[in-house]
Amino acid sequence: MSVAVLAHVGLGSNLGDSRAIIAQAVQALGGLPGCELMARSADYQSPPWGPVPQPDYINAAVRLRTRLTAPDLLEALLATERAFGRMRPGERWGPRTLDLDLLLYGDTVCDEEHLQLPHPRIGSRAFVLLPLADIDPALVIPGQGTVAWLLARVDASGCRRLG
C-alpha cells in the first residue's frame, strides 16, 4: 500500500432494486481494505446510453481516501461488481446490476489499456457530473476543468435528483 489518495468512483445500476444495490455498494466500497468513505452523492435517475432498450439508471458517486494503488483499486471495484452479479464482458452500454467506474485517482493522468484516468468520458456525462457536483463542484478534472464548469456544458435535462 502507498500514501493515501482521494479517489472518486461512479456507481450505476438499472437491474433489480437499483437504489438498494447502490446503497449496498457504497457500504462495500467504504469497507474495502485500505479505503475510507469520505463523501457520497445523492442518487440520480438518468436515461440509459446506447442502442439497447433498458430501464433508467440510478447513479451516484463516492469519494474514497485510499491507500490502494490505482490498478489495485480498479481490481477491487471489478471484484465488487462481480459480487453484485455483474459479468464482464457484457453487452456494451447494456443493462447491469452494478457498474463501478474509477473516475479520478488524485490528479493522476494515465492512458493504459486497462486503466484510463481521468475516466475518458467523465466530462461529457451529466449522470457522472451531477453526483460529482454534490461531492465537490470545484473538483478539478485534470486537463478538463472543474466539475461545475463541465456540468454547465452538458445536457442534464434527462437526469433528476432523487430524494
Catalytically active residues, by annotation:
86, 96, 99, 101
* Cα 144 off chain centre by: 17
Contacts of 100 (CB under 8 A, 6+ apart): 9, 10, 11, 25, 29, 77, 78, 80, 81
> Smallest Cα–Cα separation from 2: which of 77, 76, 87, 72?
72
In eight-state DSSP terms, residue 138 is T
Q: What share of the chain is helix, strand, coil (3-state, %, to 5)?
A: 30, 30, 45
Count of CB atoms within 10 A of residue 132's CB?
A: 26
